[in-house]
Amino acid sequence: ETGVTQTPRHLVMGMTNKKSLKCEQHLGHNAMYWYKQSAKKPLELMFVYNFKEQTENNSVPSRFSPECPNSSHLFLHLHTLQPEDSALYLCASSQPGGSSDTQYFGPGTRLTVL
């Protein structure tokens, strides 16, 4: 595997379910991100982890719970979601500390909440 991988690619869940999204990066980066992508809206940054420490939480509802056990893996735990949470959830990684941070994105998980 190369780059940034995400599983599952598609997920359908009910509002009472609990599920987790997984992201793995094979680039040796130290920063990982979760974004939400909805139609006709800008990419919304949800969480940032830098060297496994959470450095950003953009007022994300508590029904989204991130976990970063190491610099290569990032999870997004989901519970009691709402239909408006249906979106494409993108994971990205970057190598901070340089003169620019190129974000390397995974293919995303298409989430549908019924």
Contact positions vs other proteins (CB under 8 A)? 4, 31, 33, 40-43, 45, 48, 50, 55-56, 90, 92, 94, 96-97, 99-108
Query: Cβ neighbours of residue 70 under 8 Å, at least 6 residues apart?
Result: 52
Report the C-alpha gap between 76 and 102 in whole angstroms: 22
Give the nearer residue to other proteins in terms of CB position, either 67 or 101.
101
Q: How far apart are CA 21 and CA 91, in angstroms?
A: 10
Minimum distance from residue 7 beta carbon to other proteins (Å): 14
CB of 87 to other proteins, least distance (A): 13
For other proteins, the closer CB: 20 or 50: 50
Cβ 107 to other proteins, closest distance in Å? 5
Pick between residue 62 and residue 100 the one whose CB is nearest to other proteins. 100
Q: Are 75 and 22 in contact (CB under 8 A)?
A: yes
- Rounded to an integer, what is the distance from CA 79 to the centroid of its chain? 15
Q: Give the shortest CB-33-to-other proteins separation in angstroms.
A: 8
| Three-state SS at 39 | coil
Residue 44 or 79: which CB sits closer to other proteins?
44
CA 11, CA 96: separation in Å to the nearest integer? 31
